[in-house]
Amino acid sequence: MSMNGAEALVETLFRSGVDTCFANPGTSEMQLVAAIDGQYGMRAILGLFEGAVTGMADGYGRMADKPAITLLHLGPGLANGLANLHNARRAGSPVINVVGDHATYHLQYNSPLTSDLAGVARPMSDWLKASISERDLPQAGAEAYAAAMHYPGRIATLAVPANHAWTEGSSPAAPAALSAAPQSPDAAITDAAAALREAHGPTALFLGGRALREGALEQAGRIAAATGARLICETFTARLQRGAGRVAVERLPYFGEQGAEYLKDMKAIVFCGCEPPVSFFAYPGKPSWLSPEGARLVRLASMDEDTENALTRLADALNAPAEPALVQAAAVPAADVTGPLDPTKIAAIVAALMPDNAIVSDEAATAGLMIFPATAGAPKHDWMMLAGGAIGQGLPLAAGAAVACPDRKVIALQADGSGMYTLQALWTMARENLDVTTLILNNGSYAILNIELMRVGVQNPGPKALSMLDLRNPALDWVQMSEGLGVPARRATTAEELREALAEALAHKGPRLVEAIL
C-alpha cells in the first residue's frame, strides 16, 4: 500500500508504542492530522494552546513512562510549548514533539510564519532532527522514539516539512532498538558504601528523579535501616511515590539558606538520581551551594543512570536488612476544622479526603505549602511537582496524567497566578471528561514574589512594585473562567464549604474545579 510520509511516520510511531497525541495543529500539519485520523490505535487530544499541549505530554510521560507525541505548528507553535518542555526535560519525561514545517521549497520565500525552527527547538530538546525526504521520515520517527525513551526520559523533536508529509512513496520503518538504562559503575557503589559507613556523624541519601519511585525508595529504606542515613528528596520532584506503607523521604526546604541549615551537620551525602542540592535562585550574600563544607559527597547514580539498580547494589553492599526503615504510617491531621480558610486548614481537608492511589499535580506554591506535609500519611499516591520551575505546568500536567491513568483520581493543586498561564487545559479536561479535581488556591497574589522581593534586598517597595505582584485588581474569578471552559466549578471561603465542595468534586468521575479563597 502506498503511503505518504505522514502516514508512514504515524504508523512507525504507533508500532514503536505511541498511542496518544496531544495536538494543536495548523495548516502545515494537516497531513499529519489526516494520518492520525487514519491510525485507529492513536488517540488525538486537542489543546487550545501549545503550552497546554506540551504540559499534557509531560504529565502523560511522567505517569506512562513512555512518550506521547505532541503535534505543533511551526516554530512559533513550538515556541509556545517550550516552557513546559523545559519542565518536562528537567523532570526526565519522555516526549516526542512532531512539529510541522513549511514545505522545503517554500522556506526560501520567507513567508510570514517562517522562523528558525531548529533554533527554537534546540534549547529545550535533547534530540532534534528534520527529515530529508518522505522516505527517511519514518526512520527519523523511530529514532525519535528511541531518543525519548533514553532513561529516564528525554525530549525528542522531529521537524516534518509539509511536502515530506504529503508526498507518496514512503513506508513504515521498524521500531528502533531501545537502550537499557546505564548502570552506575561499581566504584560508585563502593564509594557510597564507604562514605556512609565511615562518616563520623549524620549522613543522608539525597534523592531525585527515578530514585523517588516506590521500588527505589524501598531500597533507600533498606540503606537507612543499615546505616541510619536520612532520606532527603529534591525540593521539586518529578514524581514521588509516597503515602502510607511506603518509605518516606524528607523534603529539602525551598530557600537556599534554609536548605543549607537543614544539611549543615551532614558528614556524608550520597546523591542518587540528581546532582547535589543547590538553591533555586541566587540572592545577595546567600549560598547557592548547599552542602556543608567538608562533607563527603558521592554520586551513586546520576539522573541518567538506573537508580533502583544502584540503590539495590548499595543496600546489598551494606548488608542491609530486607525490611526498609522509615516506612510511613497511615495518619492525617484532624480535619474537623472550621471558619475562614488558611493554608493549614486547606491542607487538613485535602489530606482527609485524598482517595487511594491518587495522582497529585502540585503547583500550589505558597498557599499550598502545608498540603505536602499533611498528606505524608494519606493513602498511597504519586506526587508530581514543578521540576523545572517554569510556572504554568500544573493544570496540563494533571490532564496528561489523567489521560495516562484513566482509572486513577487526579488532583491538581493549583495556585492562582501560575494557573493563569495555561488555564486552557481545563477545556481539554472537559472535552475528554478527564477525572481531574482541580483545587485553585486563590490568594490574589504572586505571593512568593512578595517574599522574594525582600530576599533580594529590596527595602520598602513602593506601590508600583507591589502592584506587579498583585492579582486582586480585578480579582480573578476562577469559577466563571472554569465554567466558561466547560468545567463545573464551586467556590469555597470557609473550611466547611471547602470540605463539602471538595468531597463532592472527588466523588464525581470527571472534571470539577473548586476555588478556595484565602
CB closer to its own copies, 4 vs 219: 4
CB of 418 to its own copies, least distance (A): 10
Instruction: Output 125 or 437, the one with its CB closest to its own copies.
Output: 125
Smaller CB distance to its own copies: residue 308 or 432? 432
Chain centre distance of CA 256: 22
Report whether 270 contacts 192 (CB < 8 A): yes
Q: What is the DSSP string of 278-316?
A: B-SS--TTS-SB-SPTT-EEEEEE-TTS-HHHHHHHHHH
Q: For its own copies, give the closer residue by CB, 203 or 235.
A: 235
Beta strands at 358-363 and 268-272: parallel, antiparallel or unpaired: unpaired
CB of 383 to its own copies, least distance (A): 16
Contact 90, 237 (CB under 8 A): no
Question: CA end-to-end span of the chain, whole Å?
Answer: 61
- Minimum CB distance to its own copies smaller for 23 or for 401: 23
Q: Which lies closer to its own copies via its Cβ, residue 57 or residue 142?
A: 57
Q: C-beta of 228: minimal distance to its own copies in Å?
A: 29
State the nearest-atom distance from the C-beta of 353 to its own copies, in Å.
Answer: 26
CB of residue 488 vs its own copies: minimum separation in angstroms? 10
> Quick one: which of 327, 131, 188 has its CA closest to 247?
327
Taking the complex as a whole, the smallest distance from the CB of residue 171 to its own copies amounts, in Å, to 19
- Measured distance CA(494)–CA(516) in Å, rounded: 8
User: How many whole angstroms separate alpha carbon 3 and alpha carbon 116?
Assistant: 29
71/205 with CB nearer its own copies: 71
Cα 485 to chain centroid distance, Å, stands at 23
Element (H, E) at 95: strand 95-101
Residue 138 in contact with residue 176, Cβ under 8 Å? no
Is residue 515 within a helix (H) or strand (E), and if so which, with residue range?
strand 512-517
Nearest-approach distance from CB 244 to its own copies, in angstroms? 29
d(C-alpha 451, C-alpha 10), whole Å:
48
Give 43 or 380: the residue with its C-beta nearer to its own copies: 43
Q: Is the backbone peptide bond immediately before 152 cis, with ω within 30 degrees of 0?
A: yes
Whether 53 contacts 24, CB under 8 Å: yes
Instruction: Give the nearest distance from C-beta 461 to its own copies in angstroms.
Output: 6
Q: Which of 72, 75, 32, 31 has the alpha carbon at shortest distance from 52?
A: 72
Q: How far is the CB of 306 from its own copies (least distance, A)?
A: 22
Q: Which is nearer to its own copies, 65 or 416 (CB)?
A: 416
Q: How far is the CB of 162 from its own copies (least distance, A)?
A: 6
Residue at grid coordinates 481539554: 428
Q: Which is nearer to its own copies, 110 or 179 (CB)?
A: 110
Measured from the CB atom, the residue of 139 and 163 that comes closer to its own copies is 163
User: Rounded CA gap, 272 and 275, in Å?
Assistant: 7
How far is it, in rounded angstroms, from Cα 32 to Cα 6?
5
- Determine the Cα–Cα distance for residues 208 and 276; give it in Å rounded to an integer: 10
Closest to 246 in 3D by CA, of 211, 214, 208, 212: 214
For the CA atoms of 14, 17, 19, 22, the dihedral, rounded to the nearest 10 degrees, stands at: -100
CB of 25 vs its own copies, minimal distance in Å: 6
Cβ within 8 Å of residue 452, ≥6 positions away: 281
Minimum CB–partner distance for residue 163 and its own copies (Å): 7
Is the Cβ of residue 309 or residue 482 nearer to its own copies in the bound state? 482
Minimum distance from residue 222 beta carbon to its own copies (Å): 29
Residue 179 or 288 having the CB closest to its own copies: 288
474 preceded by cis ω (within 30°)? yes
Residue 138: name the closest of 98, 92, 195, 93 by CA: 98
Which neighbouring-strand residues pair with 359? 382, 410
Which helix H or strand E contains 194, and what residues bound it?
helix 186-198
